[in-house]
């Protein structure tokens, strides 16, 4: 199946509207698409019914914390109209607002002018995330580019990387399952954990009811794919893959473009076929 089960629209921190994202997926000949915006399913409320040749799988990417690191959980094939998703969106939205205020206070302490107002002005939704702060920092001349903003201030482990607001991992997975979806650990290699720590994370994820692993995220090294595929097989987890597309101009994460996943894995869509 030509699919992309991880991409973002302007409902969170992507650069294309949900409609434009669906149109781009059609142009690329994708058969199935899941718009997995951060902590919101608002994209699906903005969309008309998709063309028959494209299957739209309702999805979301929730933020949470494991140990002292931020991790992301994909919920695929969820019911966006369910009570579970309504509760999840409400609480995660509140957490995201609290987080944005803390980030803004910290950035202001470093000399960034009007960080919250500036980030809000660059968001096409009610949601404010780190990329919006980074874009404001570039627009105001505080940094040269978004990469510098993340490298010095907003990236993992940097002074404005705030994680403590999110709902717990087990609660996130419970919401996804109650909404009829499958919970998958998103882009495991991006957390840069040791093998021991990664297996501990997967242990806790499975113990909480997680059922899948995103084996391929965009263009990744073959050894990373082999390792994650091995973990997926040995844990009898469902496999998913996607680009983590946020906008044009990023060839390593272009819509519908990702390293080839091993053919012997059990794909997540086998659960809902």
259 in the same domain as 214: yes
Same domain, 171 and 149: no
Residues 146 and 41 in one domain: no
Kindly list the distances between the CA atom of residue 269 and the CA atoms of 33, 150, 203, in Å, as whole numbers in the listed order. Answer: 11, 34, 23
Q: Looking at the structure, do residues 173 and 257 belong to the same domain, yes or no?
A: yes
When mean pLDDT is compared across 3-12, 23-32, 159-168, 257-266, the lowest value belongs to: 159-168
How far apart (Å, rounded) are the C-alpha atoms in residues 186 and 241?
9
Hey, how many other C-beta atoms are within 10 angstroms of the C-beta on 245? Answer: 27
Domain-embedded: residue 160:
no
69 and 173 together in one domain: yes
> Per residue in 191-211, is it b (16+ CB within 10 Å) or e — as a string?
bebeeeebeebbeebbebebb
User: What size, in residues, is the chain?
Assistant: 273
- Tell me: do 258 and 170 sit in the same domain: yes
Whether 141 shows a pLDDT value over 80: the answer reads yes
Do residues 149 and 171 both lie within one domain? no
Residue 272 and residue 230: Cα distance in Å, rounded? 23
> pTM for the whole thing?
0.88
Domains held by the chain: number: 2
Query: Does residue 51 carry a pLDDT above 90?
Result: no
Q: Give the pLDDT score at 129.
A: 86
Same domain for 96 and 73, yes or no, is: no
CB 124 within 8 A of CB 46: no
The overall average pLDDT reported for the chain is: 94
Residue 77 per-residue DSSP state:
S
Would the pLDDT of 259 be above 90? yes
| pLDDT above 90 (res 124) | no
Secondary structure element (H or E) that encloses residue 240, with its range: strand 238-242
Q: Which residues are bridge partners to 238 per DSSP?
A: 212
What are the C-alpha distances in Å from 190 to residues 22, 193, 205? 26, 8, 16
| Band of residue 112 on the pLDDT scale cut at 50, 70, 90 | very high
pLDDT at 73: 98
Write out the residue range of the structural domain in which residue 186 sits: 3-80+166-271
Last residue of a domain, one of 154, 175, 203: 154
Structural tokens at position 51: 């063309």
- In-domain check, residue 226: yes
Q: Is the residue at 129 inside a domain?
A: yes
**Per-residue pLDDT, 126:** 80
Residues 13 and 74 in one domain: yes
């Amino acid at each position: 199946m030509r699919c992309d089960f991880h991409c973002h629209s302007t409902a969170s921190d992507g650069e294309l509207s949900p409609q434009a994202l669906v149109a781009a997926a059609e142009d690329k000949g994708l058969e199935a698409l899941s718009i997995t915006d951060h902590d919101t399913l608002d994209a699906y409320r903005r969309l008309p019914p998709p063309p028959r040749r494209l299957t739209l799988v309702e999805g979301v990417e929730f933020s949470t914390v494991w140990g002292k690191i931020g991790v992301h959980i994909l919920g695929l094939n969820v019911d966006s109209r369910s009570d579970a998703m309504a509760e999840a969106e409400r609480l995660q939205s509140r957490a995201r607002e609290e987080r944005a205020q803390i980030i803004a206070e910290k950035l202001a302490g470093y000399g960034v002018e009007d960080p919250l107002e500036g980030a809000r002005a660059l968001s096409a939704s009610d949601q404010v995330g780190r990329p919006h702060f980074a874009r404001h920092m570039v627009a105001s001349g505080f940094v040269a580019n978004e990469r510098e903003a993340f490298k010095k201030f907003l990236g993992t482990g940097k002074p404005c990387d705030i994680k403590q607001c999110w709902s717990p991992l087990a609660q996130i997975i419970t919401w996804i399952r109650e909404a009829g979806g499958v919970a998958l650990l998103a882009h495991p290699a991006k957390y840069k954990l040791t093998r021991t720590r990664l297996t501990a994370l997967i242990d806790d994820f499975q113990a909480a009811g997680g059922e899948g692993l995103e084996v391929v995220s965009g263009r990744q090294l073959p050894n990373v794919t082999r390792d994650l595929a091995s973990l997926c097989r040995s844990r009898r987890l469902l496999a998913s893959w996607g680009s983590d597309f946020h906008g044009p101009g990023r060839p390593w994460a272009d819509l519908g473009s990702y390293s080839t996943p091993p053919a012997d894995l059990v794909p997540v869509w086998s659960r809902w076929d």
